[in-house]
């Protein structure tokens, strides 16, 4: 069964260091999402891609966070420099597209990357 | 006020009990999603519904669009059902707004 892949699963880093997370969506899925989930809370959207284009990055702290999806397939989320408050689960999700049938927009989530900043 | 409210926040049940988790939302939606997250794990989509009722195994999800309310039911609960259950809604832009989740613990 097709799945969203993420790596690494766990990352421990010191503050002020750079970290990067990778996501490979389900094959053929045009829309890719990066979420941040702080312990005890629901996920919040950081950035949304449609193919290689950013659709929504209004909640992305752009002074330290960047995201790219150069070929419209896999994606990388980077934090530089990391801060203590960045400790969270970073989730990637994908869906077939943004328009059309409701099922076209069902999001499938990856296992997440748990980041701990010391 | 959060656009998506879930209740209860925490729920403890004995194996075999019937469980209900509620979700209320305050905005117009195109769909409502029920998601499951095991401790330290990723998220699994259980249901996506825009009207009526859906059933999958021991799980049942209902939605009342007029009342802006949805319920997730688990029949014959089992310890492996222990997880966080998250309600999320999507609007016309398909962006998900999440509730804070309900932590369910089912004891043997």
Segment A46-78, tens digit of pLDDT = 999 999 999 899 999 999 999 999 898 999 999
Of residues A41, A34, A7, the one with CA closest to residue A91: A34
What is the least distance, in Å, from the CA of A16 to any CA of chain B?
Answer: 25
Residues of chain A in contact with residue B90, where contact means CB-CB under 8 angstroms, are 105
Nearest CA in chain B to A48: B95
Distance of CA A108 to the CA centre of its chain: 12
Q: What is the average per-residue pLDDT within A96-113?
A: 76
Share of chain B above pLDDT 90, in %: 72
- Identity of the residue in A95, A102, A114 whose CB atom sits nearest the CB atom of B50: A102
B98: β partners: B88
My answer on whether omega of the bond before B8 falls inside 30° of 0, hence cis, is: yes
- Identity of the residue in A107, A110, A112 whose CB atom sits nearest the CB atom of B96: A107
My answer on whether omega of the bond before B92 falls inside 30° of 0, hence cis, is: no
Q: Is B39 on the interface with A (CB under 8 A)?
A: no
Share of chain A above pLDDT 90, in %: 76
Angstrom distance (rounded) from CA A66 to CA A102: 30
What is the least distance, in Å, from the CA of B67 to any CA of chain A?
Answer: 21
At B95 the pLDDT is 79
Q: How far apart are the first and last CA of chain B?
A: 36
At B27 the pLDDT is 81
Angle at the Cα of B84 (from B49 to B55), degrees rounded to 5? 35
What is the least distance, in Å, from the CA of B94 to any CA of chain A?
Answer: 7
At A39 the pLDDT is 86
At A41 the pLDDT is 85
At A48 the pLDDT is 93
A93 pLDDT above the threshold of 90: yes
Residues in chain A: 118
At A98 the pLDDT is 61
A103 pLDDT above the threshold of 60: no
What is the least distance, in Å, from the CA of A80 to any CA of chain B?
Answer: 24
Q: Is B101 on the interface with A (CB under 8 A)?
A: yes
- Which chain A residues have any C-beta within 8 angstroms of a chain B C-beta? 6, 40-45, 48, 56, 91, 93, 95, 98, 102-103, 105-112, 114
Residues of chain B with confidence (pLDDT) below 70: 1-2, 93
Q: Is B96 on the interface with A (CB under 8 A)?
A: yes
Share of chain A above pLDDT 70, in %: 93
């Amino acid at each position: 069964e097709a799945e969203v892949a993420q790596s690494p699963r766990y990352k421990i880093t010191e503050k002020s260091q750079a970290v990067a997370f990778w996501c490979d969506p389900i094959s053929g899925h045009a829309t890719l999402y990066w979420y941040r989930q702080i312990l005890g809370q629901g996920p919040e959207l950081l950035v949304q891609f449609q193919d290689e284009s950013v659709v929504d990055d209004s909640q992305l702290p752009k002074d330290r966070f960047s995201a790219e999806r150069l070929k419209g397939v896999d994606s990388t989320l980077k934090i530089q420099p990391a801060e203590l408050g960045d400790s969270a689960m970073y989730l990637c999700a994908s869906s077939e597209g943004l328009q059309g049938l409701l099922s076209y927009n069902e999001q499938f989530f990856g296992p997440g990357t748990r980041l701990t900043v010391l | 006020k959060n656009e998506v409210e879930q209740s209860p926040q925490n729920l403890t049940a004995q194996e075999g009990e019937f469980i209900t988790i509620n979700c209320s939302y305050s905005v117009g939606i195109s769909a409502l999603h029920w998601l499951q997250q095991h401790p330290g794990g990723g998220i699994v989509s259980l249901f996506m519904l825009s009207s009526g009722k859906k059933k999958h195994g021991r799980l049942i999800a209902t939605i009342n669009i007029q009342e802006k309310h949805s319920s997730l039911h688990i029949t014959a609960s089992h310890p492996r059902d222990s997880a966080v259950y998250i309600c999320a809604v999507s609007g016309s832009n398909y962006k998900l707004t999440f509730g804070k989740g309900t932590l369910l613990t089912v004891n043997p």
